[in-house]
Amino acid sequence: MKVSVREQDSLWRYSQLFQVPLPLIIDSNPGIDPDRLMIGQTIDIPGYIISEYTIAPGDTLWLLSVRHQIPLDAIMLLNPSVDADSLMIGRTIRLPVRVTWPIVQGERPYPYAVLMEELNQLHEIYPFMRMNTIGSSVMGKPIPELQIGRGDKRVHMNGSFHANEWITTAVIMRFVNDYLLALTNRQAIRGLVMEPYYSSAMLSIVPMVNPDGVDLVINGPPPEEPYRSQVLQINGGQTDFTGWKANIRGVDLNDQFPANWELEAERREQTPSPRDYPGRFPLSEPEAQAMAELTRVRDYDRVLAFHTQGREIYWGYEGYEPPESETIVNEFARVSGYRAVRYVDSHAGYKDWFIQDWRRPGFTIELGEGVNPLPIEQFEEIYQESLGIFLASLYM
């Protein structure tokens, strides 16, 4: 919600008027000096939208303030040209509405178009959530990264490395929405007030690493050539892509990282495939390149890669994991009911590469249980199991 600065206004005044934490207002207005506001300057107030109201007989701004539980000065701020002493019946005025409902509707198929639509809505309401493009998929879809928070602890999460694990994106986005709601409304999640974590942690999220693959699984082969013919050939002419894990070129993106890639390449598929083909060389695919470059630039303290399925958390790689990883994964296991697994016979994954190169905690979290893609009916159960992991990643 945008407001226009009046004489004597300040961001602190807006924080008190709308009951929104001051850091969220400051971060919603990058480039604006809080100590040098100018009359007429436009300021974003997070956590609000504007509704229009038509003046009826007997209305006064004071009555509207009481009826809608809105401070009178907030109504005046949004309607600077309205004369409070002579309201005209039939005139339309603007009222601020606090957003207390979720935008993300995760319990449905969640292709790239739905992701971007809901991300744009969230960014409009919560402009302190920063959005960046880290690169593009093979088919040219921009891959978004979100950043929430201003703290020194740098925590990264990602989902949908594998196409038929797209429910991970919906689960991550549900958490993002719940976190934003709790921050702007000063609410707790599972008894934890979120405002201190905004100050202590910078949360980086890539909700959909593999947008082309996700769309392939959910929507079927794309109309564009040569991609349509290629995926049909790789899939043996079958139009059912529910078993597809790879990107649109038949490369498994979680077998793309330079952590003993050669060992994995020897025993995996040798040509493009719906799953398990590691590519011609490490980081051959634009999606993997984008994730690698982002990780180098952001220099994360820990990373969490969400996959399905198995209700397990993989946390070690070749003995490179630091001692604190065990403390963190034990808490993840406690709050989720998932099983902590130190080593598996696998290489070249994103988590493996991060642990190997940074010697910092990295985790692959296998959400839910069953056959991929997991049925959407499991969404709520999976979310409640994983919510504790999301929160623990901020406070551990």
* pLDDT 10s digits, 204-226: 999 999 999 999 999 999 999 99
* pLDDT 10s digits, 24-69: 999 999 999 999 999 999 999 999 999 999 999 999 999 999 999 9
Pair 93, 116 in one domain: no
**pLDDT the model gives residue 350:** 98
CATH of the domain at 23: 3.10.350.10
Q: Among 31, 64, 98, where does a domain finish?
A: 98
Pair 21, 48 in one domain: yes
Residues contacting 131, CB < 8 A, separation 6+:
119, 123, 144, 145, 146, 147
**pLDDT the model gives residue 335:** 98
**pLDDT the model gives residue 92:** 96
Pair 186, 54 in one domain: no
CATH of the domain at 302: 3.40.630.10
Residues contacting 253, CB < 8 A, separation 6+:
161, 162, 209, 210, 213, 246, 247, 285, 287, 288, 291
Count of structural domains, the chain = 2
Pair 52, 160 in one domain: no
pTM of the predicted model as reported, rounded to 2 decimal places: 0.96
Domain of residue 80: give its range.
Answer: 2-98
What CA–CA distance (Å, rounded) separates 344 from 346? 6
Taking alpha carbons only, the member of 172, 159, 171 closest to residue 291 is 159
Q: Among 98, 124, 154, where does a domain finish?
A: 98
366 part of the active site: yes
Pair 205, 138 in one domain: yes
Taking alpha carbons only, the member of 218, 220, 216 closest to residue 249 is 216
Pair 82, 155 in one domain: no
Q: Are strands 2-4 and 42-44 parallel, antiparallel or unpaired?
A: antiparallel
**pLDDT the model gives residue 85:** 84
Q: Do the domain assignments include residue 232?
A: no
pLDDT < 50 regions, the chain = none
Residues contacting 17, CB < 8 A, separation 6+:
71, 73, 74, 77
In this structure, what token pair is assigned to residue 230? 């290629």
Pair 60, 118 in one domain: no
In this structure, what token pair is assigned to residue 6? 């009046």
Tell me which of 7, 366, 380, 385 is the catalytic residue. 366
Residue appearing with tokens 């499991």:
378
Q: What is the DSSP letter of 275?
A: S
Other CB atoms within 10 Å distance of the CB of residue 222? 15
Taking alpha carbons only, the member of 356, 293, 47, 392 closest to residue 186 is 47
Query: What are all long-range contacts of 131-135, with beta carbons under 8 Å and residues at least 24 apart?
Result: 134/206, 134/290, 134/291, 134/293, 134/294, 135/286, 135/287, 135/289, 135/290, 135/293, 135/294
In this structure, what token pair is assigned to residue 373? 């893609």
**pLDDT the model gives residue 84:** 85
Q: What are phi and psi of 191, to 5 degrees?
A: 80, -5
Residues contacting 105, CB < 8 A, separation 6+:
118
